[in-house]
Amino acid sequence: MIEPGADREKIILTGAPETMLATLYGRALDSRSPHPILHDRAADDAVRRIDYDFARTGMTATSGAGVALRARQLDRWTAQFLAAHPHATVLHLACGLDTRVQRLDLPPSVRWVDVDHPEVIAVRDRLLPAPAGDYRTVGASVTDDGWLDDVPADRPTVAVFEGLTMYLRKQDGRRLVERITGRFPTGQLLFDCYGSLGIRLQRFVPAVRNSGATLHWAIDDPRELESWHDGLECLDALRSVDMPGVEELPRSGRASMWVLARLPGFRDVGRILRYRF
């Protein structure tokens, strides 16, 4: 919900919807740093228009750089897909206030659909200008049946979902994967996930703890999903601790990643995944 204020919009959200303010703030902090990874100035503009106690997110320059690194990798994979399929449909699920559609240099032929809970889309529609072209927002839970039926199934489709899977229960995540892969002729799924240890440690993530959200679904074996649809294939499973560009993190981030990458269990705490179908 947004309450119009004199200069800034007061946002009152709880649970998973509130956590989108943490990732937005992370990208804003990155854009303010001397060596930005993502250069998402629109995120910073949005933050400056929002009346919210961003200290609740617990985001720091280092964790913000980590968010930016993950977003950049998903941007790159999305751009690669669109270079090969300029007439594609993009399903950007759990979009929050992510400015991916603005960050990518989209061919005008792309159809882009931003989906999130209705209360998040209401905020998005107020705060972020809609880009030109074949673009729309949809306010729905991705686990609802209706919204996907309204997306024409005529094109190769890339579904990008960042910061979503952990909020879903496994059976809902599986159903989502099955519905997308079963509906479109061909495409890719690009998303991040937590491993079991990440789910067990959720109370140590300030944005999760302070919003009252609960994380459920852990993916420990990315190959498990391949059995959910004939022809679904895992192309990449990048550990967060050794993602491309990890050397661009601030010194404290590089040190943490170095340590985590050497601790069994911790090295699989998060991944970024790319599948084709």
Ligand X SMILES: C[S@@+](CC[C@H](N)C(=O)[O-])C[C@H]1O[C@@H](n2cnc3c(N)ncnc32)[C@H](O)[C@@H]1O
Binding site for ligand X (CB under 6 A): 16-17, 19-20, 23-24, 94-96, 98, 116-117, 120, 141-143, 162-164, 167
Closest CB to ligand X among residues 17, 66: 17
In this chain, which residue has its C-beta nearest to ligand X?
A: 96
Question: Of 183, 274, 192, 185, which Cα lies nearest the Cα of 234?
Answer: 274
132: burial class by Cβ within 10 Å (0-12, 13-18, 19+)? Answer: exposed
Smallest distance from the beta carbon of 40 to ligand X, in angstroms? 10
Smallest distance from the beta carbon of 6 to ligand X, in angstroms? 26
Smallest distance from the beta carbon of 231 to ligand X, in angstroms? 26
Closest CB to ligand X among residues 216, 276: 216
Smallest distance from the beta carbon of 25 to ligand X, in angstroms? 9
Smallest distance from the beta carbon of 262 to ligand X, in angstroms? 27
Smallest distance from the beta carbon of 168 to ligand X, in angstroms? 6
Spatial distance between the Cα atoms of 185 and 154, rounded to a whole number of angstroms: 7
Closest CB to ligand X among residues 204, 258: 204
Could you tell me if 159 and 127 are in contact, meaning their C-beta atoms sit under 8 angstroms apart?
no
Closest CB to ligand X among residues 49, 226: 49
Closest CB to ligand X among residues 92, 229: 92
For residue 271, what are its two tokens? 């991944």
Closest CB to ligand X among residues 11, 142: 142
Smallest distance from the beta carbon of 67 to ligand X, in angstroms? 7
Phi, psi of 260, deg, nearest 5: -60, -35
Spatial distance between the Cα atoms of 129 and 82, rounded to a whole number of angstroms: 22
Closest CB to ligand X among residues 98, 268: 98
Q: How far is CA 68 from CA 9, 32, 63, 174, in A?
A: 24, 12, 9, 27
